Amino acid sequence: MTESFINKVAESGLITLDPEQYYPRGETGVFDLKDFLFMGLVLKEKDFRESLKNYDWEKCRDKNIALYCSADAIIPVWAYMLAMSYLQPVAKEIVMGDEKELHRQVFLKNMEKINISEFEDKRVVIKGCGETPIEEFVYAELTKKLRPVAKSIMYGEPCSTVPIFKKR
């Protein structure tokens, strides 16, 4: 008598969504306006414009760039606009803010590509373990995105889940 094993996870109809597939990829960089200020503190318009004009913008080619100023200086709005006008033709993505904000915004942009209709009336497991650390905001955003359409949302692995939401 031969016993056959049944893979109950495979037969459960669960769809696993791995947040890692939306993780920001590619090179990143920081464009800090502090480096273009007189003594790192004062913006002199003529010098600032000349420095930007002579900067090697190819350093930013096809990178995700965080645009900000790390100095405690008063930076006029037009200075960010001017830097953006130079960055836009070469950079892949530009975000106003530090590297953490860049990571967050690119992650969110990548998650916008999710075809929500694929999860309509489905039982969804948002994968919780992986090799890449995923921040909490990703799980919250995925829940917000899936809740209106999914039959249920769980966190973890298909063999061991934590229930999050179930349509009544």
Task: Label residue 5 by pLDDT band (50, 70, 90).
Answer: very low
**Strand (E) or helix (H) holding 15:** strand 14-17
Query: Closest by alpha carbon to 97, among 59, 61, 55, 69?
Result: 69
pLDDT for the residue numbered 6: 41
pTM, entire model: 0.83
Most confident of the following: 2-11, 31-40, 94-103, 121-130: 94-103
Q: What percent of the chain is predicted at pLDDT more than 90?
A: 83
Name residue 3's amino acid.
Answer: E
Q: Check whether 7 has a pLDDT greater than 70.
A: no
| Residue 162, CA atoms < 13 Å, CB-side half-sphere | 8
**In whole angstroms, how large is the CA radius of gyration of the chain?**
23
pLDDT for the residue numbered 10: 45
Reported as a single tens digit per residue, the pLDDT across 94-110 is 999 999 999 999 999 99
Reported as a single tens digit per residue, the pLDDT across 10-26 is 445 799 999 999 999 99
Query: Closest by alpha carbon to 37, among 48, 23, 52?
Result: 48
Average pLDDT over every residue of 35-58 = 93
Domain ranges of the chain: 8-24+108-166, 28-91
Q: Check whether 8 has a pLDDT greater than 50.
A: no
Burial class (CB in 10 A: 0-12, 13-18, 19+), 60: buried
